[in-house]
């Protein structure tokens, strides 16, 4: 074979394959191997059985190979087989091997023709095999059988592609000779992943079943539909031979006689047949391993380096050492405290760029979610005015009042202040949830010690829940303090005298802030019709007066500007077809917002973005839609209710006073609630973790029990040490192998554009008038001085390569066969090798 210095390479790869399969996915290495690809009933299984010399593969109708079979052939003095899933058990009866393959296949895929990508690893030792590693893949099929899904063809294709897309995988493309070679599924798949033909070897089966008067000589000579590595022909046993238990040795002898006796193949007989295919595959796999050895070594070294530090920590590790447990407990608690503080306070090192940390989320709660919840509690304008008018009338009673009663103002203000309790308590709940999530994230580093992780989470969470009640009591106390005294002498309160002028002052302040930019960002307009292009993403700019959007963030091409007058925000249910979260803007006077649309639906990637945009719109004066609970009950009352001009002035005055005072209260609450939560909750929890957590853990029970490592951690440690040792041994073995070997250079490139084409697939097309016909047994060969025949159709497709092209191998240096040939002998222009 010319590779004696590399004899150990294939067994080495087999050992690595078994080692890495047994330890799982820690070492993800693409080990060199040969994948057998072909259509259903192409003869793949028969080729493998001829290699082994035994019947050991399942047979039947439909897809026989339903799981990839990784077949490792090892030359040995005795003959037996063993499975990776039955380690230690030797199979000497190959009928039992077939039964085990069927049982293992049914265990994973079921007994009704299902398929699975999980491979079966089979190793065969025999004196009749050469060292090879092959993968038998399911045959390509078109029609589902049994409980197979409708997309069975795509599933099998995807499974095959998982193997043959790897650069370390050689492709054995098996095609029957009695079918159209140009439409071969195996060659089409190989071309998709190996366009240069560096890894593809063609195998032609069923040569003995071709129609009379046709042969595959042009294909086997690599002149018709050429491949860079060429084709090898084999003759398998027929179904009658298999049913009659014909010995494979006898079948191989019959195959040899077929090639030596067939007039079209006798000059190629030495390069055809199963034994020659084994030698070629052994040589090419060995060469392929040698070629991929540098990258293979680099990959081993990189994985070894990645495991070095972890393996060094585990080496000499004693899980039951009390001093180690005490030291590690102190380190774990200290690390937990540092991680918690970094997540809350923020840190410049190891910044998370994927999601917000606990502190950033709490900041969002304080300055976006909480103000938004406060505004949502404001009642509807009509309801407010109705309540004020009822309060004024009830205070006057039977008398007609001359002055605006301040008791009505106080009653309405207290009712509004009480409504603030719900958003304040909700703010505490949101902060608590973020604190608990942060504790869980920090405790993930303790998962090696499940008891310690569980106790740490329990102790800290219990302390957070204990502080929850105190924080809520204090928050409610702040609301009660606001209710206890209505301070109408506050410096920001407009007073009765200025109540009538408030609306004009508000308009002036809004016009002065018109150019202030509140927010910019990308949003998707969701309710553009498909006829107009469907949903599109634009760059939005929100100011105090308008919402504008541009084509991109350069803000050069403005698409639209929407004034904010009479606009409100409403939530929209997320569509099951969309991954985005939606809210919409609408006009309270039922006018079109954008062109012909009554609403403008805007979509964000996450609910946090929706809340953030709604909070920004709130700052611009676009409020959320209020739920009118009593609307149906009060419609008739409000329709029949009319106020006299004097009462209207009183209501307007009280309304302006309430707005002024509630702005003061809201400002105070927005400032005090975050400070209260920060003091009573967040800072207190940080101090507790720093000062008391360790003591609480010691008092919770035996600290040695706390530091008992999990079973997964023990398995992880053993796996890392075994993997590290396996990688070192593999590198040592590879380092001892000499790569200075004799090798056959890769054949030159050929034109493989025919693969996948629709033309050129007939086995025996009618000869053209200008093309020479095949000679019958009575015809004489062309004289030696005659020119070579022009291009003509071959037995399996059009002849698309001239005889003197570099792709066509030279003929053997032997005399033409003595019996009359059905083809003209080679022309004198062909170069015969010495």
SS3 annotation, 693-723: HHHHHHHHCCHHHHCCCCHHHHHHHHHHHHH
Degrees to nearest 5, angle at CA 252 with 247 and 253: 100
The DSSP bridge pattern shows strands 69-75 and 120-126 to be parallel
Contacts of 546 (CB under 8 A, 6+ apart): 561, 562, 563, 564
User: 671-692: per-residue pLDDT in tens?
Assistant: 999 999 999 999 999 999 999 9
Q: For Cα atoms 658, 664, 670, give the angle at the middle one, nearest 5 degrees.
A: 125
pTM for this model (two decimals): 0.50
Return the residue matching tokens 């003091």.
679
Residue 422 has φ and ψ, to the nearest 5°, of -60, -50
> Terminal CA-to-CA distance of the chain, rounded, Å?
21
Contact 297, 148 (CB under 8 A): no
How many helices, marked H, and strands, marked E, lie in the chain? Answer: 24, 16
The pair of structure tokens assigned to 731 is 């590198």
Summarised one tens digit per residue, pLDDT across range 207-225 is: 888 888 888 888 888 887 7
Question: 3-class SS at 441?
Answer: helix
For residues 596 and 518, is the Cβ–Cβ distance under 8 A? no
Q: Give the number of other CB atoms < 10 A from CB of residue 553.
A: 12
Give me the average pLDDT of each 10-residue run along the chain (834 residues): 50 63 49 81 79 72 67 84 83 86 80 74 84 81 71 83 85 87 84 85 88 85 84 85 78 88 88 87 78 78 82 71 77 89 79 79 88 75 73 72 70 86 92 92 84 89 92 93 87 68 47 67 80 78 88 87 87 74 87 84 85 82 65 42 63 79 89 93 92 86 71 75 77 63 63 52 40 38 44 39 40 40 43 41
Distance CA 131, CA 123 (A): 11
Token pair 């219990």: residue: 462
What is the C-alpha to C-alpha distance for residues 704 and 554, in angstroms, rounded to an integer?
Answer: 62
pLDDT value of residue 30: 62
What is the SS3 assignment for 348? coil
Contact of 624 with 614, CB cutoff 8 Å: yes
Contact 765, 719 (CB under 8 A): no
Cβ partners under 8 Å of residue 86, min gap 6: 100
Tokens of 769: 């008038």
């Amino acid at each position: 074979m010319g590779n004696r210095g590399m004899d150990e390479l294939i067994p080495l790869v087999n050992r690595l394959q078994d080692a890495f399969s047994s330890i799982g996915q820690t070492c993800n290495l693409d080990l060199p191997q040969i994948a057998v690809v072909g259509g259903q009933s192409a003869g793949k299984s028969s080729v493998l059985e001829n290699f082994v010399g035994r019947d050991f593969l399942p047979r039947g109708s439909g897809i026989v190979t339903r799981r990839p079979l990784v077949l490792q052939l090892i030359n040995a003095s005795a003959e037996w087989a063993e499975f990776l899933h039955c380690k230690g058990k030797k199979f000497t009866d190959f009928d039992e091997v077939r039964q085990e393959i069927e049982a293992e296949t049914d265990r994973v895929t079921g007994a009704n023709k299902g398929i699975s990508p999980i491979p079966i690893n089979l190793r065969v030792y025999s004196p009749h095999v050469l060292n090879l590693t092959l993968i038998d893949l399911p045959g390509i099929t078109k029609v589902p059988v049994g409980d197979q899904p409708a997309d069975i063809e795509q599933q099998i294709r995807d499974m095959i592609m998982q193997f043959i897309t790897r650069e370390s995988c050689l492709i054995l493309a098996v095609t029957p000779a009695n079918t159209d070679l140009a439409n071969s599924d195996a060659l089409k798949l190989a071309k998709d992943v190996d366009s240069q033909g560096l890894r593809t070897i063609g195998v032609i089966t069923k040569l003995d079943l071709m129609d009379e008067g046709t042969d595959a000589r042009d294909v086997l000579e690599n002149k018709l539909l050429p491949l860079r590595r060429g084709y090898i022909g084999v003759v398998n046993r027929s179904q009658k031979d298999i049913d009659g238990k014909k010995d494979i040795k006898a079948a191989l002898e019959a195959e040899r006689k077929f090639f030596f006796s067939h007039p079209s193949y006798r000059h190629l007989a030495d390069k055809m047949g199963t034994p020659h295919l084994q030698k070629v595959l052994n040589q090419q796999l060995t060469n392929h391993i040698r070629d991929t050895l540098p990258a293979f070594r680099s990959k081993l070294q990189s994985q070894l380096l990645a495991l070095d530090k972890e393996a060094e920590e585990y080496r000499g590790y004693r899980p039951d050492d009390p001093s180690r447990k005490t030291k590690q407990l102190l380190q774990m608690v200290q690390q937990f405290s540092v991680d918690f503080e970094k997540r809350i306070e923020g840190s410049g090192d190891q910044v998370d760029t994927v999601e917000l940390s606990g502190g950033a989320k709490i900041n969002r709660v304080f300055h976006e979610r909480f103000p938004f919840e406060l505004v949502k509690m404001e009642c509807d304008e009509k309801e407010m005015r109705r309540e004020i008018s009822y309060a004024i009338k009830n205070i006057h009673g039977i008398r007609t009042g001359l002055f605006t009663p301040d008791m009505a103002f106080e009653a309405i203000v207290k009712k509004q202040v009480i409504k603030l309790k719900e958003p304040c308590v909700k703010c505490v709940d949101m902060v608590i949830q973020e604190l608990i999530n942060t504790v869980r994230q920090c405790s993930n580093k303790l998962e090696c010690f499940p008891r310690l992780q569980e106790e740490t989470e329990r102790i800290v969470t219990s302390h957070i829940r204990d502080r929850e009640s105190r924080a809520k009591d204090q928050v409610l106390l702040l609301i009660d303090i606001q209710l206890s005294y209505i301070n109408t002498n506050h410096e920001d309160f407009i007073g009765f005298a200025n109540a009538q002028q408030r609306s004009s002052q508000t308009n002036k302040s809004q016009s002065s802030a018109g150019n202030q930019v509140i927010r910019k960002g990308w949003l998707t307009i969701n309710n553009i019709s498909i006829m107009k292009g469907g949903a599109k993403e634009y760059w939005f700019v929100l100011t105090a007066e308008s919402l504008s959007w541009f084509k991109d963030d350069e803000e050069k091409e403005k698409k639209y500007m929407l004034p904010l007058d009479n606009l409100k925000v409403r939530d929209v249910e997320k569509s099951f077809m969309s991954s985005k979260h939606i809210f919409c803007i609408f006009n309270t006077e039922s006018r079109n917002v954008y062109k012909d649309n009554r609403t403008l639906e805007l979509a964000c990637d996450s609910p946090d973005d929706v809340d953030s945009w709604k909070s920004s719109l709130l700052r611009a004066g676009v409020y959320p839609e209020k739920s009118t609970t009593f609307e149906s009950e009060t419609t008739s009352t409000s329709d029949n209710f009319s106020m006299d001009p004097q009462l209207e002035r009183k209501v307007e005055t009280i309304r302006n006073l309430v707005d002024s005072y509630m702005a003061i209260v809201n400002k105070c609450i927005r400032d005090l609630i975050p400070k209260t939560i920060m003091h009573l909750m967040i800072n207190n929890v940080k101090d507790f973790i720093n000062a008391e957590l360790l003591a609480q853990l010691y008092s919770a029970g035996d600290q040695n029990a706390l530091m008992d490592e999990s079973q997964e951690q023990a398995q992880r440690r053993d796996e890392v040490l075994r993997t590290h040792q396996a990688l070192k041994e593999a590198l040592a073995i590879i380092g001892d192998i000499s790569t200075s070997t004799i090798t056959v250079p890769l054949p030159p490139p050929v034109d493989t554009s025919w693969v996948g084409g629709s033309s050129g697939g007939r086995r025996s097309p009618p000869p053209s008038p200008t093309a020479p016909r095949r000679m019958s047994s009575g015809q004489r060969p062309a004289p030696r001085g005659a020119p070579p025949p022009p291009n003509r159709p071959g037995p399996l497709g059009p002849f698309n390569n001239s005889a003197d092209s570099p792709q066509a191998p030279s003929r053997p240096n032997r005399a033409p066969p003595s019996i009359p040939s059905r083809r003209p002998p080679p022309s004198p222009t062909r170069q015969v090798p010495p």
